[in-house]
Homo-oligomer: A and B are copies of this chain.
Amino acid sequence: MIAITDITKDGVTMVLRIDFNSDEALYMQLRNQIILGIATGRIHEGDSLPSVRQLAEYVSINMHTVNKAYSVLREEGFVKLDRRKGAVVSLETNKQRVLEEMKREIAVDLAKGVCKGIQKEEVHRLVDEIYELFANWEESEE
């Protein structure tokens, strides 16, 4: 079962896909979708995300699950939670930290590739492909 809805208060139609049969936690799916939304330019710095209660009703999940997703996004420096404006996209940037984090996250993934004979040039191409995907999202739409 996949719930699809649009996000942000101001009618910015960003599709949000939630797979209830996935083994990935719902709050992590939410987190990932919002991060992807920012990376692909559908959500911008300063945008307000829907309130936890609104989004919970839209996606048909519990308020606390949305709240957890927002809390994670706050801890990771993607949004600021303001009582008056709700969850506002605010990108706290520390490139050094981000790169170290990314290194830890993708190390094992790259190791798998090395075992299977993937050259680093092929990884470069894959990275470019993903960056291309983010830049031209509206053209492909998935």
- What residues of chain A have their CB less than 8 Å away from a CB belonging to chain B? 32, 35-36, 38-40, 76-78, 91, 93-95, 98-99, 101-103, 105-118, 120, 122-124, 126-131, 134
Q: Are A35 and B102 in contact (CB under 8 A)?
A: no
Q: Are B115 and A39 in contact (CB under 8 A)?
A: yes
A99 to B116, CA, bound (A): 10
Q: Which of B36, B103, B111 contacts A35 (CB 8 A)?
A: B111
Q: Which of B39, B77, B120 contacts A128 (CB 8 A)?
A: B120
A105 to B106, CA, bound (A): 8
Q: Are A126 and B102 in contact (CB under 8 A)?
A: yes
Q: Are A131 and B120 in contact (CB under 8 A)?
A: yes
A93 to chain B, nearest CB (A): 5
**In this complex, what residue of B is CB-closest to A37?**
B111
Known: A36-B111, A127-B123. A116 touches B134 (CB 8 A): no
Q: A36-B108, A95-B118, A120-B128 are in contact. List 5 more A-B contacts (CB 8 A).
A: A35-B108, A38-B111, A38-B114, A98-B112, A124-B127
